[in-house]
A = this chain, B = another copy of it.
Amino acid sequence: MPQQPLSMSEKKKQKRAAILKAAIKVFSEKGFAETTIAVIAKEARVSFGTVFTYFETKEILYEKAVLEPLDEIKPYFLKVDDYFSGTPLEKIQQMIETHVDLFSERSEFLRLIQQVLGRPERFPKLFEELDLFVDDFVNIISPTIEEGQRQGVFYEETPALMAQSYLAILNGMRLTYINESTHSLWNALTVQALRLFGPIIKN
């Protein structure tokens, strides 16, 4: 019986989640302007009025649809030491594999981020958020890069630039490539990303 109110709010949470999931899907495919609330509602199997019950405006829904996936991938970028271990080279290698995997399985992440990066004046708040995320990533990853540099396996480059060029290549990975699940392609891309850090000879 004490679960009763919980199950109530549980149902609401589920519906909210369903709408958000639908929004992420549709927004990532069609962008903000060409997405209609009606389509999101249909995808979420609710009436379009219900969308407004959970999200006040389309704009707010978009923000949530961007920030929620961002929060989901954040740990894989910011908790490097929790997820990856070994030598700096090994850690970076694991990280890259994880990131490529992440985007290959949930390409919406990439699309939404690209949409925001392409329109900084249109989505200033979200852009700012991404900017901070980049800064955080740079700060988190720098010590590992520096250690690798001391070990002589990474280039003597400012860690910030190395991190940013890595994000650039990640970001620039074409969704069409990504969605092709040819493992050999991923491996190759991973190696190429790694080469931004140090001179890697595949064996």
- Copies in the assembly, this chain: 4
Q: Does A175 contact B (CB under 8 A)?
A: yes
Q: In which size bucket is the chain A interface? A: 35 or more
Known interface pairs A164-B177, A167-B172, A172-B168; A29-B121 also in contact (CB < 8 Å): yes
Interface residues of A in 150-203 (CB under 8 A from B): 155-158, 161-162, 164-165, 167-177, 185, 188-189, 191-193, 195-196, 198-202
On whether the beta carbons of B114 and A191 are closer than 8 Å, the reply is no
A200 neighbours in B (Cβ, 8 Å): 155, 199
Secondary structure class of chain A's binding surface, majority of residues: helix
Q: Does A25 contact B (CB under 8 A)?
A: no
On whether the beta carbons of B117 and A174 are closer than 8 Å, the reply is yes
Q: Report which A residues bind B (CB closer than 8 A).
A: 29-31, 33-34, 111, 114-115, 117-122, 131, 155-158, 161-162, 164-165, 167-177, 185, 188-189, 191-193, 195-196, 198-202
Q: Name A192's closest neighbour in chain B (CB-CB).
A: B165
Residue of A119, A188, A193, A195 with highest tally of chain B CB at under 10 A: A195
Among B30, B158, B202, which residue has its beta carbon within 8 angstroms of that of A155?
B202
A120 to B200, CA, bound (A): 33
